[in-house]
Amino acid sequence: MTPQQATVQLPEQALLSVRNLTKLYAPGKGFAEVSFDLYPGEVLGIVGESGSGKSTLLRAISGRLAPDDGEVLYLRGGAGSQLAQVVSLYEMAESQRRQLLRTDWGVVHQHPLDGLRPRVSAGGNIGERLMAVGQRHYGNIRERALQWLEDVEIPADRIDDLPVTFSGGMQQRLQIARNLVTHPRLIFMDEPTGGLDVSVQARLLDLLRRLVSELGLAVIIVTHDLAVARLLSHRLMVMKQSRVVETGLTDQVLDDPQHPYTQLLVSSVLQS
């Protein structure tokens, strides 16, 4: 264990701890001094206007954008496990962060083809994640892929079709299957219902809520849609101009907003 790993600590039972994380490109661009803890099975929603810094923050928390300051601590191996180890994300080698994203973590992009291999079959997209965690038996991999296609409501006879032939809603469901097939502990979602029509959004949200509950996933979801945040999130963090202006239980924040900006967000939804 390195000195860095030996000294860092997490709050009891926390899965992830973000401490004073900052990434500023210019005044009002990026995010500043964000801190929070995330627990197993918890869904944290991050909301705010376009340009508030929420998507940039998600990239930094998930190891895809180095911050200017602060740290991200992760409990690898699970609480109570003899193999449990707190690691500092940006003290790890880049290869270790990439491995973390292929195994313990998953990222669901707003544009699903950003998270898929467009010229690899649907089954192959799911199978790649399984191979990343050491599975090699073709028959077992294909069987798992078929099970997951069924779980995300994609017909089994589309297993050999390319994602580019799928509708936007099917592409997003395939991306979710690709991420969840290895049973990761933490999922990052960036506007997962963006660009989909209302009926497709509703089905996708029902699917996400079911899978998160059944698998006990910890999730950080960025969205501009307060209805999505209310449906999926246990806790909410509101951002404006690179700063967190309010945080708390989702129902508490949305039903009794304290900050003027949160009040404005909520009232604009009620009036629309």
**Can you list the domains of the chain with their CATH numbers?**
3-104+184-271 (3.40.50.300), 113-183 (no CATH)
In this predicted structure, what is the pLDDT of residue 157?
Answer: 96
Q: Are 34 and 57 in contact (CB under 8 A)?
A: yes
pTM score, whole prediction: 0.90
Neighbouring CB atoms inside 10 A of 64's CB total 13
Confidence of residue 187 (pLDDT cuts 50, 70, 90): very high
* DSSP E strand stretches across the chain: 16-26, 29-38, 43-48, 69-76, 85-88, 105-108, 186-190, 218-222, 235-240, 243-249
- Among 11-15, 112-116, 221-225, 247-251, the range scoring the smallest mean pLDDT is 11-15
pLDDT band at 152 (very low <50, low <70, confident <90, very high): very high
